[in-house]
Amino acid sequence: MRLGMVIDRKRCIACYSCMISCKQSHALPPDMFWNRVLVSETGSYPTVTKEILPVICNHCKEAACVEVCPTGATTKREDGIVYVDADKCVGCRYCLVACPYQMRTYLSDNKKEYWPGQGLTELEKFGREVFYPLQEKTVVKCNFCIERMDKAKEDGLTIGIDREATPVCVNACPVKARTFGDLDDPNSNVSKLIKERKGHQLHHEYGTEPSVYYLD
């Protein structure tokens, strides 16, 4: 099994639902995004095109971050999810530098509040200390909602089909621009989309084999 995602750029409307739902479900501090929506313009008047690119950790098959991690904190699971074991991370940030997609973040301060100077609200405290505690001075990143995947396997749910077995950013997308599933299964929804719509990866020239594909 190799979990992966397909993002249809033609459908994406840059509503930022993926960013917000991810931020909310992982109780991320200010300035930290595991999901991002990049927006830019190409061309010049009168033929200007607005480019939208939602980005997320690519959970690469040949992940540079896994190779460079000196402690083995960043590892790749059998289902293809690249995750960080915070207890092993020393915070050297080599993985951050080595990732050509810059999808990792160093969590220097998990006490940073959304309302500066007023301390953490009860909701923020609950989120960061109980609901989704992250370890300070370590590197964090998207984990394809690993806890949902693990629960889904226990409960016998179908990954990418059942809502409880699908990352929150996929569920939150109002235009269904995101699809999640098993890339190794030729009959999965993601594999079919990639084949039919000629899905491609970001910066394939780096040889990292990203598990996130894009449809143009």
Pairwise CA distance, residues 127 & 24, whole Å:
9
How many CB atoms sit inside 10 A of residue 186's CB? 9
Stretch that binds other proteins, among 21-29, 47-55, 124-132, 191-199 (CB under 8 A): 47-55
Contact range with other proteins by CB under 8 A, out of 20-28, 41-49, 140-148, 158-166 = 41-49
**What residues from 71 to 110 belong to the interface with other proteins (CB under 8 A)?**
71-73, 88-94, 96-102, 106, 108
15 is an interface residue for other proteins by CB under 8 A: no
Q: Pick the closest to residue 3 from 203, 214, 174, 213 (CA basis).
A: 213
> Rounded to an integer, what distance in angstroms lies between the CA atom of residue 19 and that of residue 9?
15
| 19: helix, strand or coil | helix
Does 10 contact other proteins by CB under 8 A?
A: no
Residues of this chain, 163-192, that bind other proteins according to CB under 8 A: none
Give the closest residue to 26 by CA, choosing from 122, 144, 118: 144
φ, ψ for residue 64 (rounded to 5)? -65, -35
Q: Is position 48 an interface residue for other proteins (rule: CB under 8 A)?
A: yes
Amino acid letter, 181: G
* DSSP symbol at 187: T
Q: Which region among 120-128, 140-148, 151-159, 201-209 touches other proteins (by CB under 8 A)?
A: 201-209
Dihedral-angle region of residue 168 (phi above 0 means left; psi in -120 to 50 means alpha; beta otherwise): alpha
Contacting residue, 70, 119, 133, 174, with other proteins by CB under 8 A: 70
Residue whose CB is less far from other proteins, 151 or 200: 200
Tokens at residue 209, please? 């084999």
- Between residues 33 and 180, which has the closer beta carbon with respect to other proteins? 33
Binding mask 132-151 for other proteins (x = CB under 8 A): ----xxx-------------
Interaction site with other proteins (CB under 8 A) = 33, 36, 38-44, 48, 51, 53, 55, 64, 67-73, 88-94, 96-102, 106, 108, 136-138, 200, 202-203, 206-207
